[in-house]
Amino acid sequence: MGSFRYLSWLLILSVVLEGVTLEVQGLAINWGSRASHPLPASITVQLLKDNGFDKVKLFEADPEPLKALGHSGIQVMVGIPNELLEPLSSSVQAAINWVSQNVSTFISKYGVDIRYVAVGNEPFLKDYKDKFVKTTFPALQNIQAALIKAGLGRQVKATVPLNGDVYQTDSGLPSGGDFRPDIRTLMISIIKFLSNNGAPLTINIYPFLSLDADPNFPVEYAFFDGKGAPVVDGSITYTNVLDANFDTLISALEKNGFGSMPVIIGEVGWPSDGTPHANIQSARRFNQGLLNRINSGKGSPKRPSPPDIYVFALIDEDTKSVDPGNFERHWGIFYYDGTIKYPLDMGNRKSLVAAKGVRYLSRHWCVMAPQASLTDPNLPGGTSYACSYADCTSLGYGSSCGNLDARSNASYAFNMYYQTMDQRRGTCSFNNLTVLTVIDPSRDGCRFEIMIDTGKHEKAPSPSTSSRGKHVPSLLVLLHIVTLIFCCMY
């Protein structure tokens, strides 16, 4: 009987341990704040917890998100914007003050579990034309010194999130990887400094951008389901660009004596709108493959142990710069209000959970009036003005609202302005072109939004004012709107 009882307990223990090994260990994600109507911080933190995210990266030290993350069980990487690199690089005291205000205070007073400080954001991006080359490393050194002075040198590590363009391969294969010649010496200095302080190298990898920038890029190679032609590099076969890109970095580290350097993937994801390749189907396919990979504990061929991977991003941000492309405002796995864009298996057969407790403005939409004419000379200027203050990137070519007829196209622009301006009186008044409706005009995958009620009531600029040069959106969006309207006039 004793032997039977022992075997029974052993069997139960083995089942319990098996369940533990299969349990998802947690997920990491980016939480951006460039939104006209941000999801309240407390609701966002609950959204993170409900979906199993136990690590989050913030792009700046926003007080409300940091306070909400206190005692949440979520580990935090807090960012320093590039515009602060210069003052932080030239003054140790400035770094000490920054750490005191944005790290020490939130750890001690609010119980925020800050693990990393991200010094800058992709500061060596080629598009910046060396703007931050001289300030990034000194800023990193000063922040590290400030962390040590604050007694946080072991608890909080300083790192620099870098774009994947800091390395390259002349052979076209991962084994040929090395750092970009113009910043190679600087990169080695930074990596050595990080290594000496026990900090990881952080790199952002974007298969989507490779596809979007190159019409000849093999589409299937961007995804994880092995449908594309493999790339053979000696004894290693690569079936997706994330592995190949990551191992190009690992080869660069090995060539320069840092083969065991810990690496974090700070950003990787797929947008759902804004260009033909940025759509719901591709975003779901990529992000589900990414989550499956993370949850399975799979690394790359050269680094079988998986790095921390921060998915980009949690929610859409409707005021982000569209200089890189209209897709920039649509990286979230959730819409701006925390509603679900597409289903995802988060691991252990758990589905995405939407945000709870979100308050909206009233169910009114601003649309083109039935009696208004498409030939009205005020129409092109009205829609252009509306989109100069609101996000119309979903109207672009190949986007979710890109196939609307001219009347619906104008309605979308007017409604986005009305919603962005908190439905204030007078913001659905465009020279008798518009009317309010309680009937949702959304259709065919094109969402006519109603914004979150943020409780803010600043004075809205009137459509009749002359300040039309501010907040100009992508020229392509405006041209698309005007083209659609005029094409239907004749």
The distance in angstroms from the start CA to the end CA of the chain is 92
Task: For helices 92-99 and 136-149, give the axis angle rounded to 10 degrees.
Answer: 60
Q: Is 267 a catalytic residue?
A: yes
Q: Pick from 279, 445, 397, 404: which is nearest to 414 by CA?
A: 404
Q: Which of 18, 23, 60, 122 is catalytic?
A: 122
Exposure on the CB side of residue 467, measured as CA atoms within 13 A: 6
Q: Pick from 436, 425, 431: which is nearest to 372 by CA?
A: 431
Phi, psi for 178 (deg, rounded to 5): -160, 165
Q: Rounded to an integer, what is the distance from CA 383 to the centroid of its chain?
A: 28
Q: Is 83 a catalytic residue?
A: no
Instruction: Measure the CA–CA gap between 429 and 183, rounded to whole angstroms.
Output: 53
Q: Under a CB-based contact definition with an 8 Å cutoff, are residues 79 and 57 in contact?
A: yes
What token pair was written down for 81?
């914007």
Q: Which of 64, 267, 328, 449 is catalytic?
A: 267
CA dihedral 478, 34, 32, 105 (to 10 degrees): 170
Q: Where are the alpha helices (DSSP H) in 136-227?
A: 136-149, 184-196, 207-213
Q: Under a CB-based contact definition with an 8 Å cutoff, are residues 87 and 94 in contact?
A: yes
Active site residues: 122, 267
